[in-house]
Every structure is written in C-alpha cells, then in structure tokens.
Amino acid sequence: MPSILFVCAANICRSPMAEALLKRLVASRPDAGEWRIESAGIWGVNGYPAAETSQLVMQAMGMDLSMHKSQPVSYDLLMQFDLILTMEIFHKECLAIEYEGLEDRIFAISEMVDSTEDIHDPMGGKPEAYKATAHKLEQILSDGLERIVQLALSHQKRTLDD
C-alpha cells in the first residue's frame, strides 16, 4: 500500500489541500483503496480545522476539507509513510535534520516535477492566493503522479528487502 504524507507548517492550509487533491487523483486507480494519504505540520497542533478559505476553495473544486483535523509531525508518524512531500525546501531540510535516517523518503513536492520551487503559503491572503496554491498543487500532483507512485513503491520494496 503506497503511503504519502504531505507536510507544511501548521497543517491547516497547503498540506490538507494537497492531501485532498491526491486522494481525488488516485480515486480512479484500481489500487485506490490501498493508498494511505495524510498530512501534518512541522509546527502543527492536534485538532485544528483546515483554514476557512482553504475549505471554500477546495469545496469549489469538489472536495471537502470540513472533517480535517491538524496533526503535528513526529518520528512515529513519519515512520508510517513511504514518501513524505513537503511544501517548501526549508520544510524538507528541517525534517532531514530533525529526523536523521529518513532523508531518502523526504522530498519537496515540487521535486516531483523536477523543480525546487516552494509552494506559496496563502494563509491570511485573498481567496485568489488560495486558488492559485490549490491549482499549483493540482498541477504538480497530476504531472508528478507517476514519480510519486514510483518513489513510494521503491521505498516499500527496500523495506521488504531489508
């Protein structure tokens, strides 16, 4: 079962949007029921809802974030996932330093399309900024889906071989 964790700062804006978008992308796959897709925040606190504007933007795109509850990153959580995709290069670097030994499964989401672009945090901005972030995430996830699958499955294979 491929397992993907999206990570941003607080787990109330970008990473919940990415989680919902990837769930929608894999929904039509024959192995959709085998996927585990979640999100967390480097500085996240348990139990906060997704930002209101994130919810509205995702609702307009046909997805529901109303049940989202934030969760913080922890070693135990990270160990449960084959692939960890961060919204910014800084998040990737923080996780790699804090959780030594997990570097081989931590990537910036933009690396899925051979870029090193940070995903803008629209928190506190206008709805258009949230829409732009959601569309950027959708584009990266759509274009990078095969790489995401490949990286997640290669980690599973390495784990089984060990």
For the cut 80, the answer to whether the pLDDT of residue 51 exceeds it is yes
Cα 21 to Cα 109: distance, rounded to the nearest angstrom: 13
Q: What is the pLDDT of residue 162?
A: 55
CATH architecture observed for domain 3-161? 3-Layer(aba) Sandwich (3.40)
Q: What is the pLDDT of residue 24?
A: 97
pTM: 0.96
Q: What is the pLDDT of residue 128?
A: 98
pLDDT digits (tens, 9 = 90+) for 90-127: 999 999 999 999 999 999 999 999 999 999 999 999 99
Q: What is the pLDDT of residue 161?
A: 65
In 3D space, the residue among 65, 43, 40, 45 whose CA is nearest the CA of residue 55 turns out to be 65
Span of 2-6, 7-11, 89-93, 153-157 with lowest mean pLDDT = 153-157
Q: What is the pLDDT of residue 1?
A: 81
Q: What is the pLDDT of residue 157?
A: 65
Average pLDDT for 21-35: 95
Cα 75 to Cα 50: distance, rounded to the nearest angstrom: 23
